[in-house]
Amino acid sequence: MAVKASIKRHGAGRHRAHSREGVVRTIAVFKLAKALLLIGVGLGSLGLLNPTTADTAYRWAWAFAWRLGPRAVFTVQNRHANLQDSQLVVVGMVAFLYAALFAVEGVGLWMSKRWAAYLTIIATSSFVPFEVYELIRHASWQRGATLGINLLVVGYLAWRVRQRPA
């Protein structure tokens, strides 16, 4: 009887550890997806330095904006008219830097590295004050969801780091 109870306890512990690993891997996939998205943003912004590409992108944005309404058309016109090459380069470089950070976080978390949890906690929580400011300035469910997800990620990883001995 004691053997069965022991097996059940160990099996349950293994299942919990596996589900915890699944949460960390989900966070890792999320970070890697953000890295890929930012690489696309970086390539896109640097691609807009080419006048032909910029014209094509403007036409696509214009066509898409008409489906969203007059306000979207006005926004596209203003953003496109005010873009300078130096701004596109800055956007591209910043996107690549953040993509590198998210890729390092994602790969480290996927490999269950403790340093990756600390890096993710520090990097993600460093954005929280800006997210709170933006949420107060222009409240939307998207900004609230972003803040909530980031707080959950930081809280979970902080709890996990404290649970696992060094």
Task: Note the pLDDT tens digit of each residue in 125-160.
Answer: 999 999 999 999 999 999 999 999 999 999 999 999
pLDDT of residue 18: 61
Helix (H, G, I), strand (E, B) or coil at 143: helix
Total domains in the fold of the chain: 1
User: For helices 114-126 and 2-47, what crossing angle results, to 10°?
Assistant: 50
Q: Residue-wise over 29-61: b if at least 16 C-beta within 10 A, else e?
A: ebbbebbeebbebbeebbebeeeeebeeebeeb
Which secondary-structure segment (H or E) carries 155? helix 141-163
14 within some domain: no
pLDDT of residue 78: 75
pLDDT of residue 4: 52
150 within some domain: yes
pLDDT of residue 11: 52
Give the residue numbers spanning the domain of 165. 113-166
Instruction: Please count the CA atoms within 13 angstroms of the CA of 95 that sit on its side-chain side.
Output: 18
67 within some domain: no
126 within some domain: yes
pLDDT under 50 in the chain at which residues? 6-7
147 within some domain: yes
pLDDT of residue 163: 87
7 within some domain: no
Going 62 to 67 to 70 to 72, the CA torsion angle's sign is negative
37 within some domain: no
pLDDT of residue 164: 76
140 within some domain: yes
